[in-house]
Amino acid sequence: MSYEKSYDLLRQILSKIDGKIALSFSYQAEDTVVLHFLSQCKIKSLEVFTLDTGKLFEECEKLHKETEKFFKISIKRYLPKKNDIEELEKELGDWGMRDSLKNRHLCCHIRKVEPLERALKNKSAWITGLRAAQSITRNELQILEYDEKFGIFKINPLAFWSEGDVFDYIKKYDLPINSLYSKGFKSIGCKPCTRAVNEGEDARAGRWWWENPEHKECGLHIKEK
Ligand code: SF4
């Protein structure tokens, strides 16, 4: 889908939504493209937020500052609850999230899902940089969806973009980008659960690489059946 068409569609959808809009910024190139779209949309009430899991790469912190400066915005951080983290760390230590799917889901719930619930409270719509081609867990993705789990409209303007489209756009507008991409990372997540990938490997191969592909979601983008 062309840049122009995606942008127009996003504008049309947003013109029909009242209330506060949220963009989740997770240090991926896709999020920066969507932020660039939104910077031209003149939205009355937009919150750009990130889920600060406490396990982010230093490169993400660097991009956080660069992005705020470039777009002249402030990216709000939602942190996990202190007590939950203390309990979690007692139970799992530094690496226990790799021991089982149950442990990993518990960690993702405390560090990501619960803070996301707070971030989406009182918002009318949630915009993401998800693409259908990213993984088998996302192949049914649509541009406009209703997220039953969080009870909110979810807009995915890049649903039908390819990876090449994203990086061409970043280059065209000289937008800030996470330096992890130049180190072989193709999808950005928490430090203990993300690695660089080899040439030809799937973009999500570096996320939770010890798990089966159908499990590779953190609970933020799972559809209720
Ligand atoms: S991605 Fe890994 S470190 Fe981050 S919240 Fe999930 S299990 Fe925890």
**CATH number for the domain including 83?**
3.40.50.620
Task: Report whether pLDDT(135) > 80.
Answer: no
Q: For the stretch 25-45, what's the b/e string if a residue is b when 16 or more beta carbons lie within 10 angstroms of its beta carbon?
A: bbbbbbbbbbbbbbeeeebee
Distance 191 CA to ligand 1 centre (A): 8
Summarize pLDDT for 59-103 with one digit per residue, the tens.
999 999 999 999 999 999 999 999 999 999 999 998 999 999 999
Residue 175 resides in a domain: yes
Does any ligand 1 atom lie closer than 6 A to the CB of residue 189?
yes
Q: Determine, yes or no, domain membership for 91.
A: yes
**What local confidence, expressed as pLDDT, does residue 174 receive?**
98
Burial group, residue 6, by CB count within 10 angstroms (0-12, 13-18, 19+): buried
Q: Is the CB of 34 under 6 A from ligand 1?
A: no
Where does the pLDDT of residue 26 fall: very low under 50, low under 70, confident under 90, or very high at 90 and above? very high
Q: Residues of the chain with pLDDT > 90: what percent?
A: 76
| Average pLDDT for the chain | 91
Looking at the 3D structure of the chain, how many domains does it have? 1
Q: Pick the closest to residue 131 from 186, 86, 72 (CA basis).
A: 186
Kindly state whether residue 196 falls inside one of the protein's structural domains. yes
> Do the domain assignments include residue 54?
yes
| CA 189 to ligand 1: nearest atom | 1
- Is residue 221 domain-resident? no
User: Residue 150 — very low, low, confident or very high, per pLDDT cuts 50/70/90?
Assistant: confident
The pTM for the full model equals 0.92
- Please check whether residue 224 lies inside any domain of the structure: no
pLDDT grade, residue 218 (50/70/90)?
low
Q: What percent of the chain has pLDDT over 70?
A: 95
Which amino acid would we find at residue 59? E
- Which band of pLDDT confidence, cut at 50, 70 and 90, is reported for residue 46? very high
Give the C-alpha distances (Å, rounded to integers) separating 182 from 91, 178, 207: 35, 8, 17
Which range, of 155-159, 170-174, 207-211, 221-225, averages the lowest pLDDT?
Answer: 221-225
CA of 104 to the centre of ligand 1 (A): 7
Question: SS3 sequence, 30-65?
Answer: HHHHHHHHHHCCCCCCEEEEEECCCCCCHHHHHHHH
Q: What is the DSSP letter of 3?
A: H
CA of 17 to the centre of ligand 1 (A): 32
Q: How many CB atoms lie within 10 A of CB 166?
A: 21
Q: Name which residue sits closest to atom 2 of ligand 1, judged by CA.
A: 193
Give me the pLDDT at residue 225, please.
46
Does residue 218 have an active-site annotation? yes
The beta-strand segments (E) located in 67-172 are 76-78, 125-127, 144-147, 152-155
Predicted pLDDT at 216? 65
> Is residue 222 included in any domain, yes or no?
no
Which residue from 139, 123, 33, 136 is spatially nearest to 78, judged by alpha carbons? 123
Residue 224 has pLDDT above 70, yes or no: no
Domain around 86: 3-215
Local structure of residue 22 (DSSP, 8 states): E
> Cβ(155) to ligand 1 under 6 A?
no
Q: Is 225 part of a structural domain of the chain?
A: no
